[in-house]
């Protein structure tokens, strides 16, 4: 157990923040002992624990068995039937929540909309009928390429209502990325908008879709929501307007009772090799996991105004903007645009104006706010906030302290939540009324999460020894497979330590058992809280006519966490000019999306390789960060390469 006092020492690791008496008084789990007791029970008897949690939801048919585990395949709530949209909407209509705000939204240009549960239910039913009218049925895949507007939630919930499987593609991704996801998922329909607002400009969503679909794909229907009013092309026979379609449909649509293991969505995420992985989540277990974390981690109260700043295109947007809060009957705040538009106080202004009580954001945003200066924050009254959250990457202790003092006024607990697209929901996290926090640590595992740090042989390491983070038991919101590639699923997550889930992160535990995540151990970068596979960026570079070979590494970056550095060798007659660097950056932007654009492109005559031909990224990393190359270079095939790379600096 951490010590009793609040601020203990000037050594960062020693600072411990205990939940305040005020917070504890109203918290769901209000003591460390209670957390420990429940955690122990959840690990000793997971089925009993999760069955109890599942009873919070509405089931059309009760499950026969809580878990069927044939490693690495899990089935949760086997035999049970439910509908996720019914749980997020219909169940609230029989309660006082009927006229409670489900979504409060603000567009970047400043428009405001509020949808009550009743209104959201109506919109979802109508849109579900639009999908049906357009031959989208149970099991069909649907791509959603929308900005963070209420219609994104409507589209997701409408799919869930009829048993269609959505795959949301982040609005910052390019035509090429959309195309790849359509082809992998075999989607039959696509839902998009004409455009979206970002930093005062219009993102041409529909135009990107047109490029993605040119030459033909499995997509038969494109439903277009009018958002930005920009001029677009509508392809006859393929493209239809959302608002026109609504004229043809009724507002009644019964939720389809679905097997607990019916797929809810596919969300693509980067891996260290090959194309993005379609992470598959299923209805029952996912919703139980999300609902449970929502309740305990955010310690939700009926009158909270909860804001998770994630875009709906990422897993955080799925679990903690849409499904989690709505299943819990909360009011979820949504914002479409950039945090510094029109000025760097946009977030603080919205918190003040709406009296937001819970803020869940990412370290990369926090670091940007720090850089923009405290004066933007100080202009606003943030006294409505009572709880803060962080997700996406390790939060630096100093950024944590700033978040705690400047945003939280020294009053709000911070929940630093570790999880992944694959885990579906939060896995390692403080419970705000129970677990003392330490800046930079995600603290302790959530209920039912058997997390451990192990060595190469799978043996648990001692206190403060680094190792690989694994999860030793199945949990309800876990991924079920990689869509269409079970072999990759096995190999990627379950082969290194058979029967145990490999997270791909490195971590250590301190003497109190607290987890300190140190980041990825594979070739995956974490740029502004989002995973990018180095191999994807390399493939995009190599697809350029003038590039022979490329190696991408990360360099620490004050705001983005990691910056992308690309080492590129050119084909015979191509000249290493400055303009070509810009061209290559734009090329990656067009292939993957702006987020993947290299911050730095370096031309090299050759890349350092081992005798077996593997690029020695460690050396490139050292060069990219300006360090002297250290460690073992005996396997380097050609030593002159290293000297030349140094000359290029
Ligand atoms: O490396 C970890 C980091 O983000 C990865 C998961 O990325 P993604 O699937 O895109 O999901 C992001 C939102 C859940 C993890 O493997 N990560 C996420 N949260 C934290 C974190 N690293 C440290 N602390 C966190 N709180």
φ/ψ of residue 381, rounded to 5 = -90, 110
Q: How far is the CA of 419 from the centre of ligand 1 (A)?
A: 5
Q: How far is the CA of 391 from the centre of ligand 1 (A)?
A: 7
Q: What is the pLDDT of residues 128-172, one digit of tens each?
A: 999 999 999 999 999 999 999 999 999 999 999 999 999 999 999
Beta-bridge partners for 415: 389
φ/ψ of residue 590, rounded to 5 = -75, -35
Q: Which atom of ligand 1 is nearest to the CA of 503?
A: 16
- pLDDT the model gives residue 642: 72
pTM of the model: 0.92
Going by alpha carbons, the residue nearest to atom 25 of ligand 1 is: 418
Tell me the C-alpha to C-alpha distance, in Å, between residue 156 and each of 115, 149, 198, 280: 16, 12, 22, 15
Q: Which strand (E) or helix (H) includes residue 467?
A: strand 467-471
Q: Which atom of ligand 1 is nearest to the CA of 517?
A: 23
Helices 205-213, 175-185: inter-axial angle, 10-degree rounding: 50
Among 393, 527, 528, the mutation site with the greatest number of ligand 1 atoms within 8 A of its Cβ is 393
Tell me the C-alpha to C-alpha distance, in Å, between residue 92 and each of 235, 358, 411, 584: 39, 21, 32, 51
Q: How far is the CA of 396 from the centre of ligand 1 (A)?
A: 14
Q: Furthest-apart CA pair in the chain: how many Å?
A: 74
Q: Which atom of ligand 1 is nearest to the CA of 310?
A: 13
Query: Which residues have CB under 6 Å of ligand 1?
Result: 269, 315-316, 390-394, 416-421, 442, 503-505, 517, 519-520, 526, 530-531
Going by alpha carbons, the residue nearest to atom 24 of ligand 1 is: 394
Q: How far is the CA of 647 from the centre of ligand 1 (A)?
A: 36
Rounded to 5°, the CA angle 642-645-647 comes to: 115
Going by alpha carbons, the residue nearest to atom 22 of ligand 1 is: 393
Going by alpha carbons, the residue nearest to atom 12 of ligand 1 is: 392
- pLDDT the model gives residue 12: 47
Going by alpha carbons, the residue nearest to atom 6 of ligand 1 is: 420
Q: How far is the CA of 418 from the centre of ligand 1 (A)?
A: 6
User: Domain segments of the chain: what residues?
Assistant: 21-507, 524-647
Q: 19, exposed or middle or buried, with CB in 10 Å at 0-12, 13-18, 19+?
A: buried
Q: How far is the CA of 420 from the centre of ligand 1 (A)?
A: 5
Q: How far is the CA of 302 from the centre of ligand 1 (A)?
A: 28
Q: How far is the CA of 318 from the centre of ligand 1 (A)?
A: 15
Report whether CATH 3.30.530.80 matches the domain 524-647.
no
Q: 357, exposed or middle or buried, with CB in 10 Å at 0-12, 13-18, 19+?
A: buried
Q: How far is the CA of 91 from the centre of ligand 1 (A)?
A: 32
Q: How far is the CA of 443 from the centre of ligand 1 (A)?
A: 14
Q: Which atom of ligand 1 is nearest to the CA of 390?
A: 26
User: Mapping DSSP to helix (H, G, I), strand (E, B) and coil, where does residue 236 land?
Assistant: coil
Mark the ranges of the chain whose per-residue pLDDT is less than 70.
1-13, 612-613, 630-637, 639, 646-649
CB within 8 A of 341, min separation 6: which ones? 108, 198, 199, 200
Running DSSP on this structure, what letter comes out for residue 492?
I
- pLDDT the model gives residue 647: 64
Q: 628, exposed or middle or buried, with CB in 10 Å at 0-12, 13-18, 19+?
A: exposed
What is the DSSP code string of 616-631? -HHHHHHHHTTPPP-S
21-507: CATH topology is Rossmann fold (3.40.50)
Among 265, 313, 391, 420, the mutation site with the greatest number of ligand 1 atoms within 8 A of its Cβ is 420
- pLDDT the model gives residue 275: 83
Q: How far is the CA of 406 from the centre of ligand 1 (A)?
A: 24
Q: Which atom of ligand 1 is nearest to the CA of 314?
A: 10
- pLDDT the model gives residue 11: 42
Q: How far is the CA of 519 from the centre of ligand 1 (A)?
A: 8
CA-to-CA distance for 148 and 106, rounded, in angstroms?
9
Q: For the sheet with 481-482, list strands across it.
A: 239-241, 221-225, 189-193, 141-145, 165-168, 263-269, 277-282, 481-482
Among 469, 504, 526, 562, the mutation site with the greatest number of ligand 1 atoms within 8 A of its Cβ is 526
């Amino acid at each position: 157990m951490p010590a009793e006092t609040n601020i203990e020492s000037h050594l960062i690791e020693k600072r411990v923040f205990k939940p305040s008496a005020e917070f504890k008084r109203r918290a769901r789990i209000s003591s460390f002992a209670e957390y420990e007791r429940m955690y122990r029970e959840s690990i000793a008897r997971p089925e009993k624990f999760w069955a109890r949690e599942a009873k919070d939801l509405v089931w059309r048919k009760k499950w026969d068995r809580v878990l069927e585990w044939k490693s690495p395949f899990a089935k949760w709530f086997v035999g049970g039937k439910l509908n996720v949209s019914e749980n997020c909407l219909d169940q609230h209509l029989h309660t006082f929540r009927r006229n409670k705000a489900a979504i409060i939204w603000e567009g970047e240009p400043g428009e405001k909309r509020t949808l009550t549960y009743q209104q959201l239910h109506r919109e979802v039913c109508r849109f579900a009928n639009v999908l049906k009218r357009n031959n989208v049925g149970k099991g069909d895949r649907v791509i959603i390429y929308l900005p963070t507007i209420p219609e994104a939630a409507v589209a997701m919930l409408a799919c869930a209502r009829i048993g269609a499987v959505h795959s949301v593609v982040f609005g910052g991704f390019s035509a090429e990325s959309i195309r790849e996801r359509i082809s992998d998922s075999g989607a039959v329909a696509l839902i998009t908008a004409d455009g979206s607002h970002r930093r005062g400009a219009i993102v041409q969503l529909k135009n990107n879709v047109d490029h993605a679909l040119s030459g033909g794909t499995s997509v038969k229907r494109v439903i277009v929501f009018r958002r930005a009013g920009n001029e677009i092309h509508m392809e006859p026979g393929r493209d239809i307007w959302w608002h026109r379609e609504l004229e043809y449909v009724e507002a009644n649509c019964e939720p389809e009772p679905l097997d607990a293991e019916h797929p809810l969505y596919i969300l693509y995420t980067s891996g260290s090799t090959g194309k993005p992985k379609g992470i598959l989540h299923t209805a029952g277990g996912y919703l139980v996991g999300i609902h449970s974390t929502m309740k305990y981690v955010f310690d939700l109260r009926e009158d909270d105004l909860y804001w998770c700043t994630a875009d709906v295109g990422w897993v955080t947007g799925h679990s903690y903007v849409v499904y989690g809060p709505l299943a819990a009957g909360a009011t979820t705040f949504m914002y479409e645009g950039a945090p510094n538009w029109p000025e760097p106080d946009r977030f603080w202004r919205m918190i003040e104006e709406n009296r937001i009580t819970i803020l869940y954001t990412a370290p990369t945003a926090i670091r940007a706010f720090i850089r923009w200066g405290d004066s933007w924050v100080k202009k606003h009254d943030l006294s409505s906030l009572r709880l803060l959250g962080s997700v996406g990457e390790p939060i630096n202790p100093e950024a944590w302290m700033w978040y705690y003092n400047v945003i939280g006024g020294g009053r709000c607990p911070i929940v630093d939540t570790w999880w992944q697209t694959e885990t579906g929901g939060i896995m390692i996290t403080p419970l705000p009324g129970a677990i003392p926090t330490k800046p930079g640590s995600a603290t302790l595992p959530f209920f039912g999460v058997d997390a451990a740090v192990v060595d190469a042989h799978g043996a648990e390491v001692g206190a403060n020894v680094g190792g690989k983070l694994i999860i030793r038991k199945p949990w309800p919101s876990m991924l079920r497979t990689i869509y269409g590639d079970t072999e990759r699923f096995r190999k990627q997550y379950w082969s290194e330590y058979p029967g145990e889930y490999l997270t791909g992160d490195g971590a250590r535990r301190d003497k109190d058992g607290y987890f300190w995540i140190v980041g990825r151990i594979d070739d995956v970068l974490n740029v502004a809280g989002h995973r990018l596979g180095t191999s994807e960026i390399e493939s995009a570079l190599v697809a350029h006519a003038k590039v022979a070979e490329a190696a991408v590494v990360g360099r620490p970056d004050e705001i983005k966490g990691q910056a992308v550095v690309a080492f590129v060798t050119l084909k015979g007659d191509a000249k290493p000019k400055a303009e070509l660097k810009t061209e290559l950056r734009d090329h990656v932007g067009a292939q993957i999306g702006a987020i993947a654009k290299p911050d730095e492109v370096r031309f090299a005559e050759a890349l350092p390789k081992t005798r077996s031909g593997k690029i020695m990224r460690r050396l490139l990393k050292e060069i990219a960060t300006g360090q002297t190359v250290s460690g073992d270079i005996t396997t380097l095939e050609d030593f002159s390469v290293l000297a030349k790379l140094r000359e290029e600096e």
